[in-house]
Amino acid sequence: MEERHRLALAIACAYAMAAFAFLMKQRFPKLDGRWIGWILMPAILACPLFLSADRIMLRALAAFLVNEVAMKVVDFFRRNRSLSFRDFVWLMVPFPTLAIVFPKYKRRLAQPDDPWPHLVRIVVGSLWVVASFMLLHQAQRVDFLRSNFALDHAYKLLLFIPTIEAISRVLFALERLAGFDTTPVIHNAYLARTPAEFWRRYNGRVHDWMIANVYEPTGGRRAPVRGVTTVFLFSGVFHELMFGIATSRFDGSQLLFFLLQIPGVLASGILERFSRRNGVWGRVFAHVVTIFFMAATSVLFFKGMSRVFPFVYASPTPG
């Protein structure tokens, strides 16, 4: 079987399990819907295993697509009430991207936006993404990047941050042109003054899913330390599983990366209060501390990225 057929099979299998969950809930309405999604999540996330182990990038693509399905299933059935098949079908459509919290995916614009600013976002953002891949490729030929991992990592961060922001703006523009009332997936994460603010800005849609499905059920504002710890533990296991399935290797780097975010997020209140009390210099200090913290810990995250995309680093990665 050709790999593109295996990719289609993996995605179809994920959607089939999601449909099966809906039918089971309809057939047995007394089932506790809060557990249906959580029980099915591991099986849905395992669907990329249909692809050959040596097709790492395709497995990574499949992992991204099916994890959206799994998160939607969890959020949909967590509500444990009668919901229509139409609601279910529209939620499962993979557009807007990562619209995984019910019923936010349904929000439509009261009136259409002016298309020109969005067309500019699409053109400029797309051009930057192409340019960043060209710069990434050219880095393989730069001797001081090939011989110094710290400089190489800093250079990749300087490319990565505007590139994901550009991708976010392109997706946002497409969604608004289609009439959806959305905000960018990633919203100026580089402006964050604390690690907690960074994670609110970095992926607002997954952040909302985490709040609704992990943080609040495990304590929320009543027990914020437990809630934050559970969120990043879950995220670490989730990313470790996804990178492990894509690369056929579990090394703990993703789990460790997200576990290191726990003290950073818990200390964010102190850092935020310091920045407010000390004016401009306090804000600059908090911003610099956050940049260095995220840059240092992101080595672990990029370690997994480099296994999926071997061209990410020009220098040998540590470990």
Q: State the Cα–Cα distance between residues 75 and 56, nearest whole angstrom.
A: 28
- Please indicate, yes or no, whether residues 73 and 131 belong to a single structural domain of this protein: no
Q: State the Cα–Cα distance between residues 182 and 173, nearest whole angstrom.
A: 9
pLDDT bracket for residue 1 (50, 70, 90): low
* Arithmetic mean of pLDDT, 86-101: 89
- Please indicate, yes or no, whether residues 54 and 133 belong to a single structural domain of this protein: no
Tokens of 144: 């001081």
Give Cα separations from 170 to 47, 60, 97, 126, 236 (angstroms): 28, 21, 11, 7, 28
Burial profile 119-150: b = 16 or more Cβ within 10 angstroms, e = fewer:
eebbeebeebbeebeeebeebeeeeebbeebe
Q: Considering the domain boundaries, does residue 110 fall inside one?
A: no
Tokens of 1: 């079987």
* Arithmetic mean of pLDDT, 195-205: 95
Domain coverage including residue 75 = 3-94
Stated length of the chain: 319
pLDDT value at 20 more than 70? yes
- Please indicate, yes or no, whether residues 289 and 146 belong to a single structural domain of this protein: yes
Q: What is the largest CA-CA distance in the chain?
A: 64
- Please indicate, yes or no, whether residues 270 and 164 belong to a single structural domain of this protein: yes
Q: How many structural domains does the chain have?
A: 2
Q: Considering the domain boundaries, does residue 315 fall inside one?
A: no
pLDDT value at 80 more than 90? no
Give Cα separations from 138 to 141, 163, 235, 257, 311 (angstroms): 6, 16, 33, 28, 10
pTM for this one? 0.93
pLDDT value at 79 more than 80? no
